[in-house]
Structures are given as structure tokens and as C-alpha cells.
A = this chain, B = another copy of it.
């Protein structure tokens, strides 16, 4: 039987497949996160992660807006546009991006410098930009499927809050508001997205493409940490030459 003629998996088996491939590639297994949660990160390493990850955070409402721009279904758009609000907020100082910048201040970084993204590692930029490209170029259901790393986010966020409170007490607990906000939202978002994906990926070939989109997404998250590792953990530290210097 060729793959194209293969019958689609039943709903539960398809969800299992997505969860299995996602779980074993999720970035909670990355050494940067393992060490973060064990409490062995230096302040400089924690800062490097926060400022590089901020670039990823800025890409979330961008990629969600692209998804909404491709939707022809008002009910779907209404649901998905809430994700944009979650990150951009209802007003200045509100929303996930603002909470992340508070976290940046909490770890001792300059808010405006983090917001400018000038110190973001080039490889982090390439990986996060690839996420935006993915939701632009692949089919709509694959774009939605790529968000399903949210399956695993609530658990990671819960462990993170406990680990930070225990190991990095110099970060004020109210700076962890972003992580707290993500627990219920990621749960709600992933339930909505999986419902859409299982309904609309109605061939085996498309189910497989959805798994592949989720895998690409896990590679993006993983690679972000690889870049932070190489520049701030590895011996020798490997940062690209003068990447943040002004060129004028």
C-alpha cells in the first residue's frame, strides 16, 4: 500500500502520533532548560536566555496574524485573534510581550535594549523567522498544527515557576507573571487547535504533514536553545564576530 492511498488514522491515533513526536523533541529536554530548572544557571546565562527568547515572543503575534489573515472562517478567526490579544495586550504595558519585558527587568536587563532585539543572536533570528515563514508557506492546517507545542507548555511553565522561585530567589516572584499566564491559556489554545487539526487533516498524507509541521516547530524551539548554548554555555563560548556592533 503506498502512503498516498493509506487510510487516515482514527482521531485518537492521530493525536497520539502528534503528542509522541512532539513530546520527545520538545525543548524541555534541552540542556539549557534542564540546567535552568536544576537551578545552575548563572545570572548572565539566564539573561541571555531571556533576551534571546524575547525575539521568539515578538514573532508569536506576527505568525498568529498571518494565520488569521489566511482564515476564511469568521468563527475560527474570532478564536485565533484572541491569541494576538494575549501577546500584544489591550493597552501599553499589558499582554505577554509586556510581561516578558518585566521578566527581563526582573533578571537585571535593560527593558528598552531587550525590546530593541539588538543583542539577539543571528541564529535565533533565523530560527524564529522560519516559524513565521512556516505559517505563511505551508497549508493552513499545517500552520495551525505547528502551534501544538502548546500541548506541552502548561507542564513546562508549572515546573519553571517552581524552579525559579526555588533557585533564582533574586528574581521577584511577580516577574514570573508571564509563565503563570501561559498555563491556562496554552491549555485552552491547544485544545482549540487540536480540534481544528483533527477535523481538517482528513487524509493520511495531510496528517503526516501536520506531524512534520509540529516537528519543524520543535526544531525551531530547540535551535533557539542551541544558539544560547553555543554563545553562553559551551567551552569555548562561540559568539559570531561583532554581531551586535553598530555598523555606522
On whether the beta carbons of A126 and B223 are closer than 8 Å, the reply is yes
How many Å lie between the Cα of A186 and that of B123 in the bound state?
26
A126-B220, A129-B133, A248-B3 given as contacts; is B211 within 8 A of A238 (CB)? no
On whether the beta carbons of B212 and A122 are closer than 8 Å, the reply is no
A24-B241, A241-B222, A248-B208 given as contacts; is B122 within 8 A of A123 (CB)? no
- Is A215 on the interface with B (CB-CB < 8 A)? yes
On whether the beta carbons of A212 and B247 are closer than 8 Å, the reply is yes
- Is A43 on the interface with B (CB-CB < 8 A)? no
- Is A31 on the interface with B (CB-CB < 8 A)? yes
Q: Mark A112-143, 1 if CB is under 8 A from B, else 0.
A: 00000000001101110110010000000000
- Is A58 on the interface with B (CB-CB < 8 A)? no
Q: Which residues of A218-248 have CB atoms within 8 Å of chain B's CB atoms?
A: 219-220, 222-223, 226-227, 229-230, 234-235, 238, 240-243, 247-248
A197 to chain B: closest CB distance in Å? 15
| Residue of A222, A229, A234, A241 with most partner-chain B CB within 10 A | A241
- Is A29 on the interface with B (CB-CB < 8 A)? yes
Q: Mark A3-20, 1 if CB is under 8 A from B, else 0.
A: 100000000000000000
A88 to chain B: closest CB distance in Å? 22
How many Å lie between the Cα of A212 and that of B122 in the bound state?
13
Question: Which residues from B are CB-within-8-Å of A243?
Answer: 25, 219
Question: Which residues from B are CB-within-8-Å of A195?
Answer: none
Please pick, from B127, B219, B240, the residue contacting A222 in the complex, using a CB distance under 8 A.
Answer: B240
Residue in B closest to A125 when the chains form the complex, CB atoms: B130
- Is A21 on the interface with B (CB-CB < 8 A)? yes
On whether the beta carbons of B130 and A31 are closer than 8 Å, the reply is no
Question: Which residues from B are CB-within-8-Å of A240?
Answer: 25, 219, 222-223, 226
On whether the beta carbons of B241 and A29 are closer than 8 Å, the reply is yes
How many Å lie between the Cα of A126 and that of B121 in the bound state?
13
Question: Which residues from B are CB-within-8-Å of A125?
Answer: 130
Closest 3 CB pairs of A and B: A122-B219, A126-B126, A126-B130
List 5 A-B residue pairs with CB atoms under 8 Å apart, sorted by A's residue number. A21-B247, A122-B216, A123-B223, A126-B126, A212-B247
